[in-house]
Amino acid sequence: MSQPFRTPGEAKTHGDHTREKDDAQVEKAHRPDAMILHEIIRREGEEEMRRTTLALALSAFSAGLTMGFSLIVPGVLKGHLPHEPWAELVLSMGYSIGFLIVVLGRQQLFTENTVTPILPLLTERTFGALMRVVRLWTIVLVANILATIVIASVLAHTDAFKPEVREAFAEISRHTIEDPFWTTVIKAVFAGWLIALMVWILPATGSAAPFIIILMTWLVSMCGLAHIVAGSVDAYYLVATGEIDFAKYLTGFFVPTLLGNVVGGVTLVSVLNFGQVAPDVEERGRADA
């Protein structure tokens, strides 16, 4: 039997309201597409670049100190767990603690900033936008590294932890500087890639965000990859204890890791992921003009 004809001014039927309710629920449950993720991260990047120098520096310094837990927790676990193959899985989970606190606490971490400010830059493509990115990167990186030097020095020169735990710190830290220059670069590319991917997908994860943070950073640790901030705590711990000199810190860790993290974060995630939404961004820009 055909439905009765209804003019635009007539009231909607119960079936119409049900369909509208279903459509609204489907829309709410639908995963955000790449354009939505891009827009969320782009706006976050613009907000970060508008922050004052002091606010950025304090947030980044806090993040650097917090990343000390990515050495402290695995070191404490290593000092108490048996020397079994499965123990490495648990130790790598401890590495995630610093990242979890930093990301959920909205502190400034350099590797996150290989994505968030780059999207506004790729959208605007102006010299002013480039200078804002350089300013943000410089402030955050310097504050992150200074804080890792402070926390590593505290761990090396105080008796806050037992001797067996401090030996575990040293054993973990040696892995940071054991590879040749270009091997470290490649490992850092993968680490930058994973962390930037984490930043890209976090807006779509909702309440699962802590699990995603733990999973992605656990992979960084399990694969022995190089992260500029977490690894700086490890590498400078060896400097503070006199096991290596500062030149080794720079050439064996800092320079190759920074290079790889930037390439992994900017090129493999920001640029490639931006490519899939670039036509929509260009079309929106023309419409706004």
User: Per-residue pLDDT tens for 202-232?
Assistant: 988 888 999 999 999 999 999 999 999 999 9
At 255, the pLDDT band (50, 70, 90 cuts) reads: very high
At 266, the pLDDT band (50, 70, 90 cuts) reads: confident
User: Per-residue pLDDT tens for 47-57?
Assistant: 989 999 999 99
Provide the whole-model pTM.
Answer: 0.83
User: Who has greater pLDDT, 75 or 15?
Assistant: 75
Where do runs of H (alpha helix) occur along 67-207? 69-80, 87-104, 118-124, 127-157, 163-174, 181-201
Q: How much is the pLDDT for 25?
A: 47
Query: What is the domain partition of the chain in residue ranges?
Result: 33-276
Q: Average pLDDT, stretch 235-259?
A: 97
User: Per-residue pLDDT tens for 105-159?
Assistant: 999 999 988 788 888 888 888 999 999 999 999 999 999 999 999 999 999 999 9
Residue 138: phi and psi, rounded to 5, are -65, -50
Quick check: 189 and 149 in contact, CB under 8 A? no
Q: How much is the pLDDT for 52?
A: 95
Q: Average pLDDT, stretch 243-254?
A: 96
Q: How much is the pLDDT for 6?
A: 53
User: Who has greater pLDDT, 70 or 272?
Assistant: 70
Quick check: 145 and 64 in contact, CB under 8 A? yes
* Tokens linked to 171: 């054993």
Q: How much is the pLDDT for 56?
A: 96
Q: Which residue has the tokens 């969320």?
A: 40
User: Per-residue pLDDT tens for 14-45?
Assistant: 555 555 554 554 454 455 666 787 788 888 88
Burial 176-202 (b: 16+ CB within 10 A, else e): bbebeeeebbbbbbbbbbbbbbbbbeb
* pLDDT of 288 over the 60 cut: no
Quick check: 179 and 251 in contact, CB under 8 A? no
Q: How much is the pLDDT for 116?
A: 85
Q: How much is the pLDDT for 26?
A: 40
d(CA 275, CA 273): 5
* pLDDT of 271 over the 90 cut: no
CATH domain 33-276 topology: Glycerol uptake facilitator protein (1.20.1080)
Q: What is the DSSP string of 113-132?
A: GGTTTHHHHHHH--HHHHHH
* pLDDT of 243 over the 50 cut: yes
d(CA 162, CA 175): 21
Q: Average pLDDT, stretch 243-250?
A: 96
Backbone dihedral region for residue 234 (phi beyond 0: left; psi -120 to 50: alpha; all else: beta)? alpha
Residue among 73, 61, 55, 167 at smallest CA distance from 110: 61
* pLDDT of 4 over the 60 cut: no
Q: How much is the pLDDT for 19?
A: 55
Quick check: 120 and 42 in contact, CB under 8 A? yes
Q: How much is the pLDDT for 228?
A: 96
* pLDDT of 289 over the 60 cut: no
